[in-house]
Amino acid sequence: MTDLRAAVAAGTLGSEESYRELLQAIVEVARAIFGARASSVFLHDEETDELVFEAVAGEGADDLVGRRFPSSTGVAGWVLVTRQPLVIEELQQDPRFAREAAESTGFVPKGLMAVPLLHEERALGVLEVLDRPQEAAFSLKEMELLGLFANEAAIALDLLQRAREARAVLEEEDGQAAALARLAARLGEAEPEQREAAQRLLEAIEAFLAAGSGGQLLDDSL
C-alpha cells in the first residue's frame, strides 16, 4: 500500500524530469561558483554496485550522463566508501590516474574536489568539481561550500530516486498503481463540476473498501 501511495503521490511521470533538471541546475551552479571546468553528480546504483553519471556540467556534459563504473574505483569511489570529502591537486602527473580519468571523464583534470552525497543514513552518490582555478590555494571555506552543494544535491538525488521507484511501481504488470495514477491525473484535469462528482464517487469507493464486503454502504453513499 505504501508503494501505491508513493506511486500516486509522485503524481505524474513529469516529476522525474523535474528532479533531473534540479540536479543539472545544481552542478551548473557548482561549476559557476567555483569557476571550474566541469562538475558532476554520480548516483550509486545499489543493484549493480556501480557509480553512474547522473548530471554533468561543463566538459563532458554531452556524452557522460548514463556512463557507469565500479563503485569503489577512482577518487569518486574513495569518497563514496570512506564517506569523506577529498581534494586532490596536480593529478595529471600520475599516468595511471590520467588514463582512468580520461576513460571516465573524457579529459584529464589537473585537480578535483569530491564530496559524498549523504542523505539520512544513506550514501547516495558523489559530487565532483573538476579543475577549479589553480592560482588560489584550496581552503577549508571551499570545502564547506562544497558541502552545502552536496546537501542540496543529496536531496535532489533522493527525490529523483523516489520518483524512479514510483515509476517502477507504475510500470508493474498488474496495472493497479498505473490505473490509480491515471485517475489522479484525470482528476487534476477535470472541470470543476465533473471533479466534484468524481470526488463523491471516490469517497464512496473508499467507504466501500473500508467496510470490507459492505455492498449496503455503497448504495447508501450514492
Partner 1 sequence: MAASQEPGHFGDPSLPAWSLPAGEAQRIAIGVDWPERVTREWAFGDATGEGVRVCILDSGVERGHPLVGGLEGAVAVVKGVDGHVSVADDAEGDLCGHGTACAGIVRAIAPKASLYSVRVLGAGFKGSGPVLLGGLRWAIDQGFDVINMSLSTTKRQFAELLHELADSAYFRRTVLVASAHNMPVESYPWRFSSVISVGSHEEPESLKFFYNPSPPVEFFARGVGVEIAWLGGGTIRSSGNSFATPHIAGICALILSKHPELTPFQLKNVLYLTADNVAGGR
CB of 71 to partner 1, least distance (A): 4
Q: How far is the CB of 59 from partner 1 (least distance, A)?
A: 21
Give me the phi and psi of 80, to 5 degrees please: -65, -50
Nearer to partner 1, 23 or 113 (CB): 113
CA 134 – CA 138 distance, rounded (Å): 8
| Minimum distance of partner 1 from residue 78's CB (angstroms) | 5
Taking the complex as a whole, the smallest distance from the CB of residue 49 to partner 1 amounts, in Å, to: 5
In angstroms, the CA 138 to CA 151 distance is 20
Beta bridge partners of 39: 57, 129
Element (H, E) at 115: strand 112-119
3-state SS, residue 41:
strand
Q: State the DSSP H helix or E strand holding residue 91, giving kind and residue range, or none if neither.
A: none
**Complex with partner 1: residue 90 or 173, whichever CB lies closer:** 90
Q: How far is the CB of 39 from partner 1 (least distance, A)?
A: 18
Q: Which is nearer to partner 1, 43 or 61 (CB)?
A: 43
- Closer by beta carbon to partner 1, 1 or else 136: 136
Binding site for partner 1 (CB under 8 A): 44, 46, 49, 70-74, 77-78, 80-91, 93-97, 118, 120-123, 137-141, 143-144, 147, 150-151
Set of cell numbers at residue 57:
556540467
Question: Which contiguous run of DSSP H or E holds residue 65?
Answer: none
Of the pair 89, 158, the CB lying nearest partner 1 is at 89
